[in-house]
Chains A and B, each alone.
Chain A
Amino acid sequence: MTVEQIVSEGKDQFPIGMRVLAVDDDPTCLLLLGTLLRRCQYHVTTTSQAKTALKMLRENKNKFDLVISDVHMPDMDGFKLLEHVGLEMDLPVIMLSANGDTKLVMKGITHGACDYLLKPVRIEELQNIWQHVVRRKKKDRCNSGSKDKPHPDSGEAAGIGNVDNNGKLNKKRKDQNEDEDDERDENGHDNEDPSAQKKPRVVWSVELHRKFVAAVNQLGIDKAVPKKILELMNVEKLTRENVASHLQKFRLYLKRISCVANQQANMAAALGTADSAYLRMGSLNGLGNFHTLAGSDQLHNAAFRSFPPSGVLGRLNTPAGLGIRGLPSPGTIQLGHVQNSGNPTNDLSKLQSFVPGNHNTNILQGMPMSLELDRLQHNKNVGHIGELPTTDSMTVFPGSGNLVDARITGFSNNQLLGVTSNSLMLEGSSQQATSHTSVSAIGFQNGNALSDFTSIAPASNQLQDSKAGSQGQASPINCNAGQIIRSAPQEWNAPRKDAPYQSHASINSSIPINGAMIQLGQCLDRNNSIFHRTTDLDSVGPLNFVDPLSIKHSEGDNSIMEPSVIEKEGYLMFQPRPHGSHVPDNIGSLEDLASAMMKQEGGCNGYSLRTSI
């Protein structure tokens, strides 16, 4: 069926039966909203917990067509949920609030909301929300790669208009679309939803995302055009449209991250104690999924070569892979590999390798960072990453504190968010660092990954630049990431069951990392020079994440991730703190690095944490 047909026929009686997920902590409002939606003949699922909502969404990406969420919720900020959903599931999200402040509405839009409704909601408003689903489908379909973010708020009238326009547009690109459709069908999940124009969604697994980030890094964020990215990625059945829309999101993410980074930096400083802090990550259920991934070695294999699966994985799981973030205990950092090589450049690779082993496959998309994170997390529950209490922006962290491990790998599942965020990060920084390695940083941890990623990514990019040497290595890593991503999707699911990593508790520590990461991101730019300096962590300084290297985890897998690399990425994860467990010499170096970095950067507060460690 061509697009036009779908559009005009509205198969399956769409919008009737459109599946909506409603989230609101106020029971009165939730009951009312649910009833109103049912009156509109939608298929409604309600929940008062944002975390539950995320879990449901992650369980089955095709279970819902649209999400409506309140802004003020106790367990998770509505905007954060919005980001997660947008990045991971690419579903339209409508925000709901009793507060109609322009600032808040603007915030909703910048976070990617399709619409912003005021309470009390009227049924007339809800009767037209299906347009957002249609619009998004069209957008994906007709995405030409260089398009700007489609305005989700074009209004109801626009919805209709879109249909018409799309029809025409589709006609023009019919041939192209048909080919792409085929590709998509094979690519994404087949949606049997009644929604018109529902095309199979491309799942941006960690691996895929990693490849994407690597490609973007290679091209440079400014020059990254979908076509070239697609070529570089060399993934079958991926269309330019897919890449284009993903790129769009990534850019948005990067922008957001950069704003948050500053805040994070401060937070990181405050966090100091990696262990507990990162729990944020833990809270992020999303990350949890990643943990599961840890279980799957497959994922890692591709990317993380030297990752010692057993050892590393175990660790990763707990710390939530993200290790980079705030790996409170260096030991935890599953990165293991990372430690091996003191080479900064290798770090990335290490991370990469690291991840695969653990489950991070997702995370690292190629970012060594994640590996580190894992390592760090290892002890703590990498989950910390999620912990970063400070910022909402940290939303990046899927919240699954533990995820750190999982997170990284988890990308495929929920992690999309993380992954994307990371990639975004990388993208941003990638400008400078063409090397993909930066990407790896993003790969970080599943849950945290997101937030971490962002910070790491930039950092990583920088690192890459600075590290001439690493460049070479970066590439391999990136590739891995890509692979991981691809494989991740399936694998992640598996790991979930394991949920060993569920130890979100440790995630707390990750939080600091995040903060650090963010700083790193920021610092990275500045620190580029720093990175050059030494292979060891010192240069990484800000990256503290890098600790993972020191983390002992991998004892010997240098190949995978060079500690230095990790360090860079380190922002994300590391908690270089020498917990004393593993972190052998590296830790110390990390600290040094941190302080060194800090000195240099001045701004990288995150590292102060380290020193406190």
Chain B
Amino acid sequence: MERNPMRRQLAIMRQSLFDQGHVDEQFVQLEELQDDANPNFVEEVVTLYYRDSARIILNIEQALERKPFDFRKLDAYMHQFKGSSSSIGAKKVKAESTLFREYCKSGNGEGCMRSFQQLKKEYATLRKKLGTYFQLARQAGPVETASRPK
């Protein structure tokens, strides 16, 4: 049992990510891929995700500025976005993407816009939370490091 307060805090934070539905099982898969050879794998993937998906978000935003909406294109962008989001286990973001796509399929422009706003919010929230989480993880150090029992 980790007595290190930082590690404990980290564990709590991690648990809340799951409990609040920000991340799902896929996130665990990422964690499992992290090992000595890849000590910061999860952070790397998430960083890459945010960097790459920013581009797609921008594309969607631009597409939403052009009326009438090109639903096919929007759907295609979102499909791509959803793919990467699901790869990192971003649960809420993924759910919102699905909703957005539904609106696209039914040609509901208003729905798309609303859903996209919500998606961006979730996307930003997750980024903040994960940022904090990784920061703490780095500070807490590798698991192997023994923490002096207090």
Contact of A119 (CB < 8 Å), options: B30, B41, B86: B86
| Segment among A32-40, A484-492, A507-515, A582-590 that sits at the interface with chain B | A32-40
| Segment among B9-17, B77-85, B124-132 that sits at the interface with chain A | B77-85
A35 closest partner in B (C-beta)? B33
Q: How far is the CB of B100 from chain A (nearest CB, A)?
A: 14
Which B residues, 16 to 50, have Cβ-Cβ distances below 8 Å to chain A?
A: 26, 29-30, 32-33, 38, 41, 44-45, 48-49
A28 close to chain B: CB less than 8 A: yes
What 0/1 readout, one digit per residue, does chain A (84-109) give for beta carbons within 8 Å of chain B?
A: 00000000000001110000000000
A179 to B88, CA, bound (A): 51
Residues of A within 8 A of B26 (CB): 120
A112 to B29, CA, bound (A): 30
A29 close to chain B: CB less than 8 A: yes
A98 to B78, CA, bound (A): 11
Residues of B within 8 A of A161 (CB): none
Residues of B within 8 A of A28 (CB): 45, 48-49, 52-53, 84, 87-88
A119 to B29, CA, bound (A): 13
Contact of B29 (CB < 8 Å), options: A27, A29, A99, A122: A122
Please determine whether B41 and A29 come into contact, CB atoms closer than 8 angstroms: no
A28 to B56, CA, bound (A): 13
Residues of B within 8 A of A72 (CB): 76, 79-80, 83
Residues of A within 8 A of B44 (CB): 31
Please determine whether A98 and B83 come into contact, CB atoms closer than 8 angstroms: yes
A26 close to chain B: CB less than 8 A: yes
B86 closest partner in A (C-beta)? A120
A160 close to chain B: CB less than 8 A: no
Q: How far is the CB of A118 from chain B (nearest CB, A)?
A: 9
A53 to B38, CA, bound (A): 26
Please determine whether B89 and A120 come into contact, CB atoms closer than 8 angstroms: yes
How many residues from B make CB contacts under 8 Å with A? Answer: 23
A123 close to chain B: CB less than 8 A: yes
What 0/1 readout, one digit per residue, does chain A (387-399) give for beta carbons within 8 Å of chain B?
A: 0000000000000
A29 to B48, CA, bound (A): 10
Residues of B within 8 A of A120 (CB): 26, 29, 86-87, 89
A39, A97, A122 — most chain B CB neighbours (10 Å): A39
Contact of B87 (CB < 8 Å), options: A29, A39, A97, A99: A29
A371 to B124, CA, bound (A): 59
Residues of B within 8 A of A36 (CB): 29, 33
Residues of A within 8 A of B52 (CB): 26-28
Q: How far is the CB of A120 from chain B (nearest CB, A)?
A: 5
10 A-B pairs with CB atoms under 8 Å apart are A27-B48, A28-B87, A29-B87, A31-B44, A32-B87, A35-B38, A72-B79, A98-B79, A98-B83, A123-B33
State the A residues within 8 Å of B (CB).
26-29, 31-32, 35-36, 39, 72, 97-99, 119-120, 122-123
Besides the contacts A27-B48, A28-B88, A31-B45, what 14 more A-B pairs have beta carbons closer than 8 Å?
A27-B52, A28-B45, A28-B48, A28-B49, A29-B83, A32-B33, A32-B45, A35-B38, A72-B79, A72-B83, A98-B86, A119-B86, A120-B86, A120-B87
